[in-house]
Amino acid sequence: MTEMIPQADPGAGYRAQKAEIDAAVARALSSGWYILGKEGEAFEREFAAWLGQGRAVGCANGTDALALILRGLGIGEGSTVATVSHTAVATVAAIEMAGAMPLLLDIEPDHYTMDPDELTAVLEDPPPGLPPIRAAIVVHLYGQACDLGPMLAACERNGVALIEDCAQAHGATWQGRKLGTLGRAAGFSFYPTKNLGALGDGGALVTEDWELAERIAAIRQYGWQERYVSAMVGVNSRLDEVQAAILRVRLAHLDAGNARRREIAAAYDAALAEGGAIAAPARREGCEHVFHQYVLRTPERAAVQARLRELGIGTGIHYPVPVHLQPAYKDRVPLGPAGCAETARAAQEVLSLPMFPEMTDAQVERVCDALRRLAG
């Protein structure tokens, strides 16, 4: 029995950078200051510099990053926020955490991201009975940009804030610009399996609006502008110093990690083309994909997954149950006019292959070999 290749392996990420990470952790632990200190400030600066613009504010996780953006913009009760059902449930949870009503739109079937025509339609002609739509959270799913052009235009025309969910898209670009710099603000997650992963929870939001960043920096810590005095109602959502120190190490390796992901993706593309059974995932023109996930689409998913398992290849499904069909949301959260039909179809057919930068060439070759054999 050959060894199973995992679909993701955050432990391999730690082992690859162990000396640097251990030194960073030791530095943070020795400092005697554990929450919102020098490491966090340095990481915020370095992350914003890497993005090329804006101000970054660290927080406890990616869900909070999105909820903090909404709170900072004053979008809560009495507002609707449009997003997609084909996403990590976190995106929708964040909207409800802020007190707003989610409106779930459908996806484009080839790229799995929000259908820009449906967004335009609901902004121009809002569904009856809902509070006004004040924001759209667009999710750059699997590491590839949404069709931002028409969505930015529709939001601009209708005075709606476009918020980017970049939890899977650290370093991806749209028309040469890094995702996270294109809307009103962007939320990032540093969950261990993300392209930029902490070794615990972490998140950050980024915006070019300094006042908004200042407000959110206060909200993340009880609404304090000065210690012990809450200027506004806040929460507790802070990035700790140990995770920030780790993230500074990981950030320095992020571009190389993304390049390796693209190299693995290119190898999978070639093997699929040879095999001829399943098409390679679609790339959006003018955008650089960072392959948080490499996602196949096949109506024979169960059989393909079982065959790959036999060959020692782990796979994942992102996501098996769309948000609008999960017990907590079903028949409660409103859908756009398309009724999320493409979303429901995609959930039955998507399959994620192993994808992490530390995969060895031998592991990549084993996956490729299996993909070539899927034809037979």
Ligand X SMILES: *Cc1c(COP(=O)(O)O)cnc(C)c1O
CB of 63 to ligand X, least distance (A): 3
Nearer to ligand X, 195 or 363 (CB): 195
Q: Which two tokens stand for residue 201?
A: 């929870």
CA quadruple 182, 99, 318, 60: dihedral positive or negative?
positive
249 touches 21 (CB < 8 A): yes
CB of 168 to ligand X, least distance (A): 5
* Residue 172 structure tokens: 């991806």
Residue 305 contacts residue 315 (beta carbons within 8 Å):
yes
The smaller minimum CB distance to ligand X, of residues 62 and 171, is found at 62
Contacts with ligand X, residue ranges (CB under 6 A): 61-63, 87-88, 90-91, 139, 165, 167-168, 189, 191, 203
For the CB of residue 254, give the shortest distance to ligand X in the complex, in Å.
16
Structure tokens that stand for 336 in this block: 């756009």
Which residues, other chains included, contact 255 with Cβ-Cβ below 8 Å and sequence gap of 6+?
A: 171
- Residue with Cβ nearer ligand X (55 or 86): 86
CB of 306 to ligand X, least distance (A): 26
With tokens 């700790």, the residue in question is: 240
| Nearer to ligand X among residue 24 and residue 186 (C-beta) | 186
202 or 354: CB nearest ligand X:
202
Residue 144 Cβ vs ligand X, minimum distance, rounded to whole Å: 12
Output the residue with the shortest Cβ distance to ligand X: 62
Shortest distance in whole angstroms from residue 91 CB to ligand X: 5
Phi, psi of 320 (to 5 degrees): -70, -35
Give the DSSP H or E segment for 303: helix 301-310
Burial category of 59 from C-beta neighbours within 10 Å (exposed 0-12, middle 13-18, buried 19 and up): buried
Q: How far is the CB of 295 from ligand X (least distance, A)?
A: 13
Catalogue the E-assigned strands of the chain.
55-59, 80-84, 101-105, 133-139, 161-165, 173-174, 177-178, 185-189, 203-207, 224-226, 229-230, 287-288, 295-297, 350-352
